């Protein structure tokens, strides 16, 4: 069926961090992060069916939005959405010169996810069933991904304790120093995993030193499950393999943009846990292939999903389709209003209903209007 329009929606919902407000990450923006944005697309077909997708995200949204509006979305108008594989293959080959990472890939990710939403709706099935998941309703376990508190150990301990008390099986930090790491480990009971996302700050030698220190603290309630993206640049897979040899679990992959690059990372021995991001690496079509790659190599696949829109929901569906489902990363923040009925940052369980075809993403149009940053319609 022909694609007749693509709506591009940029929506930002105010939120409370539960601690000191920081910029999004060191070196990027020092202004306090007060609004969590989602950049969404809504594809409409000639017979009135709608499909939703999401591209990454946050402060990169202006670039992705421009790429969608001025270049990529117009290419899809008038094309047949039912031939998804051929359509996306043509799009990737048409736009690879604009980058195989960053805003171009984020834009293609949004459109691919929307096309999968359409495909599942046409079949009358939820996406997880289209991907080989179970026949009935499914429950997905969330884990709590804390905001960055700038090393404030009181905020780290308080929020870790709160998340553990609510029943989350894992708490992720976005801190970079040992006092904050230990504040979380000591605040959580044994059996609640603590993971550390440091966002690529260190040389290989510096990261090896941190990994050794973490290894020495394994006696404290089991230590830390993984150290995430410790090395700059993030694609230094050989360097990451060196850090991994120190004995602390190493994770990464949200900044890996293709199956080819994931294969290289796996062959390099870079990771114990790989973390594909559906809003960054090409949407559902690409991300669903990472899981069997990881399993074949004996690795865990725990996706990145620090966003709240259709990409977050698509990640839940892909997890639910796996033979051994993993946990769903969820930002542990309090929204002024929850953006839709499939996100609750303080509930460790999400239920995906077999009665909701596609993503089951029920957009709250009134909420989107209230928090709208921009809207463009390509037709």
Write out pLDDT tens, residues 72-125: 999 999 999 999 999 999 999 999 999 899 999 999 999 999 999 999 999 999
- Residue 31's pLDDT band, with cuts at 50, 70 and 90, is confident
What is the rounded CA–CA span in Å between residue 33 and residue 11? Answer: 15
Whether the Cβ atoms of residue 18 and residue 159 lie closer than 8 Å to each other:
yes
pLDDT tens sequence across 119-150: 999 999 999 999 999 999 999 999 999 999 99
Confirm if 89 and 40 have CB atoms less than 8 A apart: no
CB atoms closer than 10 angstroms to residue 262? 25
In tens, the pLDDT along 216-265 reads 999 999 999 999 999 999 999 999 999 999 999 999 999 999 999 999 99
Percent pLDDT > 70 in the chain is 98
Place of tokens 């039912």: 82
b/e map 207-218, b = 16+ CB within 10 Å: bbebbeebeebe
Out of 22-36, 197-211, 220-234, least confident range: 22-36
Q: pLDDT at position 57, please?
A: 83
What integer is the mean pLDDT of 170-182? 98
Quickly count helices (H) and strands (E) in the chain.
Answer: 13, 14
Give 286's pLDDT tier (boundaries 50, 70, 90). Answer: very high
Cis link prior to 233 (omega < 30° from 0)? yes
Euclidean distance between CA atoms 315 and 321, whole angstroms: 10
pTM comes to 0.97
* Residue 192 CA, distance from chain mean position: 21
Q: With cut-offs at 50, 70 and 90, classify the pLDDT of residue 22.
A: confident
Q: Are 309 and 282 in contact (CB under 8 A)?
A: no
- Judged against a pLDDT cut of 80, whether residue 41 lies above it is answered with yes
Cross-strand bridge partners of residue 170: 193
Angle made by CA atoms 224, 254, 92, in degrees to the nearest 5: 165
Distance of alpha carbon 66 from alpha carbon 73, whole angstroms: 10
> Three-state SS string across 128-152, please?
HHHCCCCCCCEEEEEEEECCCCCCC
pLDDT at 30: 73
H/E stretch holding 7 reads strand 3-16
Task: Say yes or no to pLDDT of 27 above 80.
Answer: no
Model confidence at 325, pLDDT cuts 50, 70, 90, reads: confident
Whether residue 183 contacts residue 160, with contact meaning beta carbons closer than 8 Å, is answered with: yes
CB atoms within 10 A of CB 358: 27
pLDDT in tens, 304-319: 999 999 999 999 999 9
d(CA 340, CA 365): 10
Q: Which of 30-39, 271-280, 334-343, 353-362 has the lowest mean pLDDT?
A: 30-39
What's the pLDDT at 29?
66
d(CA 129, CA 149): 39
Q: For residue 32, what pLDDT band results from cuts at 50, 70 and 90?
A: confident
pLDDT, residue 377, reads: 98
Interval 201-229 mean pLDDT = 97
Across the range 273-282, mean pLDDT stands at 97
Domains located in the chain, CATH noted: 3-124+364-378 (3.30.390.10), 129-352 (3.20.20.120)
What value does the mean pLDDT of the chain take?
Answer: 96
Q: Answer whether residue 25 shows pLDDT above 80.
A: no
Residue 355, number of CB atoms within 10 A of its CB? 8
Identify the pLDDT of residue 21: 85
What is the rounded CA–CA span in Å between residue 158 and residue 143?
Answer: 16
Number of CB atoms found within 10 A of residue 69's CB:
17
């Amino acid at each position: 069926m022909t694609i007749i329009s693509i709506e591009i929606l940029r929506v930002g919902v105010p939120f409370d961090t539960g601690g000191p407000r920081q910029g999004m990450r060191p070196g990027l923006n020092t202004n306090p992060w007060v609004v969590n944005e989602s950049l969404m697309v809504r594809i409409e077909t000639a017979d009135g069916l709608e499909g939703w997708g999401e591209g990454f995200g946050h402060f990169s949204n202006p670039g992705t939005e421009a790429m969608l509006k001025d270049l990529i979305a117009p290419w899809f108008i008038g094309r047949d959405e039912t031939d998804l594989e051929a359509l996306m293959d043509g799009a990737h080959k048409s736009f690879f010169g604009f980058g195989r990472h960053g805003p171009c890939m984020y834009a293609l990710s949004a459109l691919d996810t929307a096309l999968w939403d359409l495909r599942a709706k046409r079949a009358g099935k939820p996406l997880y069933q289209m991907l080989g998941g179970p026949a009935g309703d499914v429950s997905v376990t969330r884990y709590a991904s804390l905001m960055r508190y700038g090393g404030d150990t009181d905020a780290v301990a308080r929020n870790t304790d709160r998340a553990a008390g609510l029943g989350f099986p894992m708490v992720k930090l976005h801190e970079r120093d040992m006092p904050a790491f230990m504040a979380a480990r000591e605040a959580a009971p044994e059996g609640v995993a603590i993971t550390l996302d440091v966002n690529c700050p260190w040389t290989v030698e510096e990261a090896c030193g941190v990994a050794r220190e973490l290894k020495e603290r394994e006696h404290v309630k089991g230590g830390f499950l993984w150290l995430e993206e410790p090395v700059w640049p993030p694609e230094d897979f050989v360097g990451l393999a060196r850090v991994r040899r120190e004995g602390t679990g190493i994770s990464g992959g949200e900044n890996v943009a293709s199956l080819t690059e994931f294969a290289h990372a796996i062959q390099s021995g870079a990771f114990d846990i790989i973390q594909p991001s559906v809003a960054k690496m090409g949407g559902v079509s690409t991300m669903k292939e990472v899981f069997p790659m990881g399993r074949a190599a004996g690795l865990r696949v725990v996706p990145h999903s620090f966003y709240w829109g259709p990409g977050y929901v698509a990640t839940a569906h892909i997890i639910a389709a796996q033979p051994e489902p993993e946990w769903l990363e969820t930002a542990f923040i309090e929204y002024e209003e929850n953006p839709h009925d499939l996100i609750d940052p303080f509930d460790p369980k999400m239920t995906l209903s077999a009665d909701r075809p596609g993503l089951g993403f029920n957009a709250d149009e009134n909420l989107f209007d209230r928090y709208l940053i921009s809207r463009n319609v390509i037709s």
